[in-house]
């Protein structure tokens, strides 16, 4: 029987070679192109998605290993692009080319789900796997702090 997994709340058949990394299943099979290819080796973070809410690197995760698991991509992070991080990213005008930003946001969301009030050092530790060649790190840090403050207000 074909294995399935859940992507952004919808059940999907794993109808490809099970060793195909999740990244290419998303991009080429499902044509969810928000998740980006950067290095193919888990070194840059551009392909970060959530597995049951926690950040993973889709480029090194075989899709067959995810049977019955729940995956969230940037397209499914919020209903209307209104996750506090997405709002903070816009308020701080973070993206330049924007290519790495889906991965940055997904990684930051995973951080905030575990640590609602991260220190600067916590942010640096959690986010150092995500490369931005345009150099938006200063704004990323600020946006994460702002989103954490916003979440604290909501709580």
Partner 1 sequence: MSNLTRRSFLKSATAGTSGLMLGITIPASALAKDKPFKQDEFNPNAFIHLTEDGKTTIYCGRCEMGQGISTALPAAVADEMEADWEQVTVLQAEGNEDKYGPQATGGSASIRLMYIPMREAGAKAKFMLEAAAAKTWDTDIKNCYAKKHFVFLKNSDKKLSFGELASLAATMPAPENPKLKEKSDYAYIGKDLKRHDQDDVVVGKRTYGVDTKLPGLKYAAIVHCPVLDGKLKSVDKSAALAIKGVSDVVEIERLDVPYGSLGGVAVVADNSWTAQQGVKALKVEWDAGKNGIYDTKTYKQQLIANVEKPAQVMDARGDATTGLKNAKNTHSATYTGGHLSHSPMEPNASVVWVQDDSCEVWASTQSPADIQKVLGQFLKRKPKDIKVNVMMAGGAFGRKFKCDYVHEAAAISQQVKAPVQLIWSREEDMRTGYYHSTSAQHLQAGFDDEGNVDSWLQRVAFPSINSLFDKSVKRAPKGATKDVFNHPFGIENMQVESGEALAHTRIGWYRAVYAIFYGFAFSSFADELAHKAGMDPFEFLNKLYDNNTNPKQAEQIERSKAVLALAADKSGYHQRDKLPKGQAIGLAVHYSFNSYVAMAVHVDVDGDNIKVLNVDCAVDCGQILNTDGATAQMEGAVVMGMSLSLYTEIVFRDGQVVNSNFHNYPVLRINEMPNVRVHLIDSDKEPTGLGEPGVSPFPPALTNAIFAATGKRYRDLPIKPISV
Contact footprint for partner 1 (CB under 8 A): 4, 7-8, 10-13, 15-17, 20-21, 23-24, 27-41, 43-44, 46, 73-75, 77-78, 81, 86, 89-90, 93-102, 105, 123-125, 127-141
Q: How far is the CB of 126 from partner 1 (least distance, A)?
A: 9
Nearer to partner 1, 112 or 140 (CB): 140
Nearer to partner 1, 82 or 154 (CB): 82
CA 87 from centroid of its chain's CA atoms:
15
Q: How far is the CB of 72 from partner 1 (least distance, A)?
A: 11
Q: Is 148 exposed, middle or buried (0-12, 13-18, 19+ CB in 10 A)?
A: buried
Q: How far is the CB of 59 from partner 1 (least distance, A)?
A: 9
Nearer to partner 1, 51 or 86 (CB): 86
Residue 125 neighbours by CB under 8 Å, 6+ apart? none
Nearer to partner 1, 112 or 127 (CB): 127
Give the C-alpha separation, 118 to 132, whole Å.
Answer: 21
Q: How far is the CB of 52 from partner 1 (least distance, A)?
A: 19
Nearer to partner 1, 29 or 70 (CB): 29
Phi (first) and psi of residue 11, to 5 degrees: -80, 135
Q: How far is the CB of 122 from partner 1 (least distance, A)?
A: 11
**For the packed helices 137-154 and 84-91, what is the interaxial angle rounded to 10 degrees?**
130
Give the C-alpha separation, 91 to 102, whole Å.
Answer: 16
Which tokens go with 82?
A: 């209104």
């Amino acid at each position: 029987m074909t294995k399935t997994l859940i992507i952004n709340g919808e059940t999907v058949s794993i109808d490809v070679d099970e060793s195909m990394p999740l990244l290419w299943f998303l991009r080429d099979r499902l044509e969810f192109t928000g998740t980006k290819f950067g290095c193919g080796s888990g070194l840059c973070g551009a392909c970060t998605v959530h597995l049951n809410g926690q950040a993973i690197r889709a480029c090194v995760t075989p899709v067959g290993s995810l049977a019955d698991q729940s995956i969230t991509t940037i397209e499914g992070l919020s209903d209307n692009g209104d996750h506090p991080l997405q709002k903070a990213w816009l308020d701080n005008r973070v993206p330049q080319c924007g290519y790495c930003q889906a991965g940055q946001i997904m990684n930051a969301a995973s951080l905030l789900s575990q640590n609602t009030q991260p220190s600067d050092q916590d942010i640096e530790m959690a986010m150092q796997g995500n490369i931005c060649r345009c150099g938006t790190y200063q704004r990323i840090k600020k946006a994460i702090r702002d989103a954490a403050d916003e979440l604290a207000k909501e709580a």
